[in-house]
Amino acid sequence: MGLRHAKTIKEIHDKRFGSSMYIEICSIDCDQYESTNLAMIPATHHDYVQFENQLWEETEGSFSIRILTEEQGKNWKQQTHDHRAEQYNY
């Protein structure tokens, strides 16, 4: 098991609440539309890897994910930014 997986397992253990955890997904698509989304998944390394793999298959453009604490998840607010609209002033 690599260092990345060991760090992820520790982070899951530290940030889970009950048997769940919050995941924040930050993505930007080919039209330069940037957004954040929130997901709640089972707090296991297996489910985390499956979730990440599903994002690789389904997400248009680049993305990053991070595990949130329960408090961060409960206080989370969606953010969006349309860079193309900003560029063309619409």
pLDDT, tens only, 12-71:
999 999 999 999 999 999 889 999 999 999 999 999 999 999 999 998 889 999 999 999
Residue 3's pLDDT band (cuts 50, 70, 90): low
- What is the CA angle 8-13-19, rounded to 5? 115
Do residues 37 and 22 lie in contact, with contact meaning Cβ atoms separated by under 8 Å? no
pTM above 0.85, yes or no: yes
Q: Which candidate, 62, 13, 71, places its Cα nearest to that of 34?
A: 62
Crossing angle between the packed helical segments 3-15 and 45-58, to the nearest 10 degrees: 110
